[in-house]
Amino acid sequence: MKLPDQIKLWGDTSFRGDCPSEALEQVTFVNRVRARFPDSYGLILLHPRNEGKRTKLQAMKEKAEGLATGAPDLIIPARVPFLCELKRRDHTKSTISEKQVAYLEAAQNAGAYVCIALGVDSAWNAFEHWKSTL
């Protein structure tokens, strides 16, 4: 995976080996946030459902309803929003699309805290850093 230079990266790009899927890493992150911050960040953390196959009609309808192609995996809407694209710890087992990079760049330019994290621990470190900047 070619990592964009303009987006903050959390994680060790030299790691290679077995690691959980992106979906499992995401579940772990969401569960951790909801367990530790049940009355704040855990309530507002969201994952936009942008993946999956759609018919042309479904895609048109969902886009009209606000589907944003390239939206990241993890979003916490706050005064300074947290947007994190979560990838596998071994980033060579993941991909990032041009639309994802474009979305992250636009959000970053609009003032959001934007990052790409390699694995759940890196996502947690990014989350802790974001919280410390608020």
Q: Is residue 61 part of a domain?
A: yes
CATH of the domain at 102: 3.40.1350.10
Residue 85 maps to a domain: yes
Is 3 a domain residue? Answer: no
Q: Give the pLDDT score at 72.
A: 96
- What are the tens digits of pLDDT across the range 26-75? 999 999 999 999 999 999 999 987 766 767 777 677 677 767 788 999 99
Total number of domains constituting the chain: 1
What pLDDT score was predicted for residue 55? Answer: 79
Q: What is the mean pLDDT of the chain?
A: 93
2 found inside a domain: no
Q: CA dist 124 to 57, 128, 131, Å?
A: 37, 6, 10
pLDDT at 112 > cutoff 90:
yes
Residue 20 domain-assigned (yes or no): yes
Tally of CB atoms within 10 A around 106: 13
Q: Tokens 């005064």: give the residue.
A: 79
Residue 50 domain-assigned? yes
1 in a structural domain: no
- The pLDDT score that the predictor gives to residue 99 is 93
H/E stretch holding 118: strand 113-118
Domain encompassing residue 127: 8-133
Q: Of 59-63, 95-99, 127-131, give the lowest mean pLDDT range.
A: 59-63
